[in-house]
Amino acid sequence: MKEMMLRKFAEVFGDTEGVKAYFAPGRVNLIGEHTDYNGGHVFPCALTIGTYAAARKRQDNRLRFYSVNFEELGVIESSLEDLKPYKEADWTNYPKGVIWAFAQKGMEVPGGMDLLLYGNIPNGSGLSSSASVEVLTGFILRDMFGFPVDNEELALIGQFSENRFNGVNCGIMDQFAIAMGKAGHAIFLDTSNLSYEYAPVRLEDAKIVIACSNKKRGLGDSKYNERRQECEKALRDLQRIVDIKSLGELSEEEFETLEGVISDPVAIRRARHAVYENRRAVKAVEALKENRIEFFGKLMNNSHISLRDDYEVTGVELDTLVEEAWKVDGVIGSRMTGAGFGGCTVSIVKDKAIDTFIEQVGAAYEKKIGYKADFYVVEIGGGPTVL
């Protein structure tokens, strides 16, 4: 891949003098969805698919961007003096946002760069192509200019840029999973204080299979921000009678006792999902440690039902993929993953059932939805790296 990136860089920018190649993974969240902005736990892992870059410093302040995935846009030019989001060239808003965020954190980027990207994460799939680009850009800036930031800080800078520059109120999970990824392990992260532990994912005779619905969605213009507001409304009502900073602090029993103080019935359902999903994430990690994979799968299934009924972020495409997955013998668990409203499902499937799973779920999906889903049998990879 490194050779391909350097070859393409020379083709686009003229030569490869001073160029380095980099990689940052995508991520999938195994369980704990829409809990990261509610002070709860998440359980994501980095993937072996992600975003590749070839980059070099410039002696002036120009920024030149090129994406192999959007070749029709050609080279998009900008400069360090012109760091503001543009709708027309929206993918460049992610690297520009990170350069802007570094400056906001007191690390002024001293010069421009030529940056060529290629991602093999399906675009708009919910596997965090945007967070992958953000962490990758931060990693490149650190490598080029020697900024004193660790990987955890790269995650926070990526989140800050997405919140403030791109206007998407994402939580910390995506950037953290990508920046802190470890091969063969998922990250059990408490988003309230960023304490985390690596948990080995031992799937004997089974694999993680991602099904991409191919329904495109944009986070900023989806109902993502609306769900956050509904949870915040529930939290404000609860805070009138109980001293909590986030929904993630409540147990299921405490929530059942207190839910009557939430004035809006919709906000009750949103908060119920946040509380119960957080507890599912905690139980899921315990189940993995004890090698109770079947119970882990059951928690995944319950997670999807909650996201469908209480949080209402699934939609017919994701529901079809999951419901068809549940019919296949050898599927341990299946659920939507990511923000929802399109994107992907994640399933744990026994090796002997993978071909049947892809064939059966794929055929049923195309028949019902009218277009194909794509399937990826993935492995858990590490964090960002120089190639």
Catalytic residues: 174
CA distances from 255 to 37, 80, 238, 262, 269 (A): 18, 49, 9, 10, 11
Which residues are CB-contacts of 19 (< 8 A; sequence separation ≥ 6)? Answer: 6, 9, 54, 55, 56
Give the DSSP H or E segment for 78: strand 76-79
Residue 351 is classified by DSSP as G
Are the CB atoms for 381 and 185 separated by under 8 Å?
A: no
Cα 5 to Cα 111: distance, rounded to the nearest angstrom: 22
Burial class (CB in 10 A: 0-12, 13-18, 19+), 60: exposed
Q: Extract the tokens encoding 180.
A: 């802190």
Cα 100 to Cα 160: distance, rounded to the nearest angstrom: 10
Which residues are CB-contacts of 196 (< 8 A; sequence separation ≥ 6)? Answer: 176, 180, 187, 188, 189, 190
Nearest to residue 226, comparing CAs of 168, 275, 163, 173? 168
